[in-house]
Chain A
Amino acid sequence: MSDQIGVAAVPRVGRRSTRGGARARMRTLTPYLLIAPAMLFLAYFLFWPAISAFGVAFQTASGEWTPANFQALLRDTDFGLSVRNTFMLLAIIIPLEFAVALAMAVLAQSRLRGRGFFLYVWSFPLAISDLAAGLVWLSIFTSHGYLNSVLQDLHLVRHPVGFLNYDNLPGLLLAVVVAETWRSISLVMVVIMSGIQQIPAELDEAASILGASAWNRFTRVTLPLLRPTLQVGLMLRTTAAFQVFAVVLALTGSGLPVLATKTASWAYGARNYQMAAAYAVLLLLLSSLATLAYLTFLRTPREVYQR
């Protein structure tokens, strides 16, 4: 959408000759005056807090500079667990949902009948919160829930399986992975579809005329050209997946601590904003590292632009 904005009408200069400089100056000032309130608002409520979180994390409650919060963070119960759980969820969810979302985007682009209906159903989780997703899947995974009902009806299990028991790590991971994938896969699909639509159709047609199979066209033409889109999508989703919160809370309570639930419990339960900020800063660092990695390893080779 930004290249659409890029071709916006350039202001006409024809009419200003009579009234001279003041009017012209007004004209160059107008866009800045229009955009200034929004940018100031964002600076105050978005950029400044993101920076000042570092201040809170490196200070005592009375405002002296100290590294003590991070020392306490390393000793915090569940710190290691919450890091491990966050990374395990990330490592399963991101590859899984990108693989399936790619398939969904390709399916939605192919000329299936009922395409509009499929696209509608596949995109409605875009508007579902992580909390709602957690509660929806709770009705399935809870010990007397629908999954156990079905398993028991099929005589696959004799007693309900405790998927969400605090000591059943595979069960807890499964539930969170399924619920979070269900919720966020639509976003990945829409991002990928918007990328596919920017690929000139002639390339695919040319490959087709030259006799390339559908699979080869996908892996040799579509996928390489999707690289910039996949890069942005991966950055967005990885940042979000580091912050996975309400899904985990709704499904597992405190059974599967992750970094965001630890942040919230320090801020909310203990009212210890310094510790909460330390966790938040750690999250920012981790997602910045991931973003940097994607920028480095998924860079579009320069020759693509030169052609």
Chain B
Amino acid sequence: MSAAPQAVASRARAAARTRRVEPGRLLLYGCAVLITLFMLTPVYLIALSAFSPSEAIFDYPHPLVPTGLSFDNVRFFLTYQGIGLALLRSIAVGGLTVGISLVLGCPAGYALARYWFRGKDLTQLLLVNVRAIPMVIISIPLLVTFIEWNLSDTVWSVALVHGAITLPLTILITASVFLRIPAEWEEAAMSLGTSRVGAVLRVVLPNSVPGLAAAALFAFVTSWNEVFVAVILTLRGPTLPAALVQQLSESPLQFRFAGGLCLTIPAFVFIFFMRPYLFNAFGVGGK
């Protein structure tokens, strides 16, 4: 057991550290803990109300600790008329969005990562600033277009718009992923007799799987969370958030809480896997 002396030593060091904690540092920890509580308490409370027995809604004041575990509310939500289908539609739209943004985004990202070309700076500037276009404004003319195409109220119509929303960032993420793979590896593969396409397929793509997975996850979650476009473009075939919005005014509170929980849970999983790419996906690029 060589770990024991080490543990003692580290404990001693920790003790030494706590002994000379300055008040300023304590204040920092206090702030950090307060912010953490602000972030987590609502999640705890919605989980509490979603997993409580359905009679618990009538207990008032509500106890702040669980009094019993029940899946009634969540089951009621998931089996409610139309919710199951809406869930499937959300998954389908998310899948199509991932497909569109990766199929169009990977080649564009590769071009940005490996080539210099006229208009490159302008392209990057455009991709970074495209987020300034309000989503509210693009959905109305597209609704008119989709009605003309007989595509309105379909999974494809929502996926095409979600694809356009996620594509600019997908291009920037994939470009940064490809940049991390040395161009020399490709050249080595090409000098061993494969074409550039072969080198991309056998060397670049296999090595960029984690990064591309993050880009895909990012596109999926953006689509999964998007409310406004989905509400505008669908009526009888809504996605999960759109179905929730449709039912908001007439559904019981427990239904809404269970829905809120179902929409919240994936966020924890998503951010856990996205941590290394947070700054690429959400941060501000260079200049």
Q: Which positions in A face B, CB cutoff 8 Å?
A: 1-6, 8-12, 28, 30-32, 34-35, 37-39, 41-42, 45-50, 52-53, 55-56, 100, 103-104, 107, 110, 112, 114, 118, 120-132, 134-140, 142, 144-146, 148-150, 152-153, 160, 182, 187, 190-191, 193-195, 197, 228-229, 232-233, 235-236, 239, 242-243, 245-246, 249-250, 253, 260, 263-264, 267-268, 273, 276-277, 279-281, 283-284, 287, 291
Contacts and interface: CB of A to CB of B under 8 A. Distances in A.
B79 interface: no
- Interface size of B as a range: 35 or more
B279 interface: yes
A32 B122 CA distance: 13
Given A1-B176, A125-B39, A182-B39, A11 B270 contact: no
B263 A236 contact: no
A107 B32 contact: yes
A298 to B, nearest CB: 13
A285 B39 CA distance: 34
A49 B165 CA distance: 12
B61 A148 contact: yes
Interface stretch (B4-12, B81-89, B106-114, B203-211): B106-114
Nearest to A47: B133
Contact of A140 (B42, B175, B232, B241): B42
B271 A124 contact: yes
Per DSSP, chain A at the interface is helix
A30 B35 CA distance: 49
Contact of B263 (A30, A56, A124, A135): A135
Contact of A129 (B144, B172, B241, B248): B241
Interface string B157-181: 0001101110110011001100100
Contacts, number: 320
A245 B31 contact: no
Nearest to B24: A214
B254 to A, nearest CB: 10
Contacts of A10: 116
Contact of A136 (B114, B249, B260, B286): B260
A127 B105 contact: no
B104 A37 contact: yes
Given A127-B225, A138-B256, A182-B38, A30 B115 contact: yes
